[in-house]
Amino acid sequence: MNQSMQTMQTVFDEADCLFNEQQIDAAIHRMATEITRALSEKDPLVLCIMNGGLILAGQLLPRLPFPLQVDYMHATRYRMETSGADLDWRVAPEAALTGREVLIIDDILDEGKTLAEIIKYCQKKGAANVYTAVLVDKLHDRKAVKGFKADFSGLEAADRFLFGYGMDYKGYWRNAPGIYAVKGL
């Protein structure tokens, strides 16, 4: 095992598990029920935000028992670091947003800078309405927009550096079988 892998294994071994797979599954089930109630009659376009939203989208979409379309976009502020920088737009969705009900799926609502910019992007592209779904809403008072909340949120977590279920630590552990908080961060 190389040094980088050893370091990442240590991060995982020392991390605190905040939510296990059963708790996350229950949260995703609840989100699916709420989204179905709100959007099942609206022909939504679902946008998965890469890479963080991938795991949530993969588990949430099969639980939405109604017709919808799926596309993705890639915008990031973290670039494998533990703090965000300017937004880096990597891939725009191919689907037309004009007149559509759009549901954005992402891993976490931390400060919300990325999500707020993605919402603005969708609005500028003519979306009729933009909804947001995140697995985790981090609890603190540093939101980009005061009082910013996702329309559909699975879990609330303390203000710690999280990884697992799409969230990463320096590019690693998006695949962790729970949601973990890094020791000391």
pLDDT in tens, 81-140: 555 556 777 888 999 999 999 999 999 999 898 899 999 999 999 999 999 999 999 999
The whole-number pLDDT of residue 160 equals 95
CATH of 3-76+92-181, one of 3.40.50.80, 3.40.140.10, 3.40.50.2020, 3.40.50.970: 3.40.50.2020
The whole-number pLDDT of residue 97 equals 96
Q: Which residues contact 46 (CB under 8 A, 6 or more apart)?
A: 57, 61, 68, 69, 70, 71, 102, 103, 105
Give the type of residue at 9: Q
The whole-number pLDDT of residue 121 equals 94
Question: What is the spatial distance between Cα 119 and Cα 185, in angstroms, rounded to a whole number?
Answer: 29
The catalytic residues are 110
pLDDT: is 81 or 42 the higher one? 42
Lowest mean pLDDT among 41-50, 103-112, 139-148, 162-171: 139-148
Mean pLDDT across the chain: 92
Question: What is the spatial distance between Cα 164 and Cα 64, in angstroms, rounded to a whole number?
Answer: 23
pLDDT: is 81 or 183 the higher one? 183
Tokens of 112: 């919300």
Answer whether 79's CB lies under 8 Å from 55's CB: no
The H or E element spanning position 138 is strand 129-138
Strands 152-157 and 162-163: unpaired
Q: What percent of the chain has pLDDT over 90?
A: 78
Question: What is the spatial distance between Cα 90 and Cα 86, in angstroms, rounded to a whole number?
Answer: 12
pLDDT at 65 over 60: yes
pLDDT at 42 over 90: yes
The whole-number pLDDT of residue 136 equals 98
The whole-number pLDDT of residue 142 equals 87
- Give the SS3 label for residue 113: helix
Length of the chain: 185
**Domain ranges (residues) in the chain:** 3-76+92-181
Answer whether 107's CB lies under 8 Å from 53's CB: yes
| pTM, full prediction | 0.91
pLDDT at 17 over 80: yes
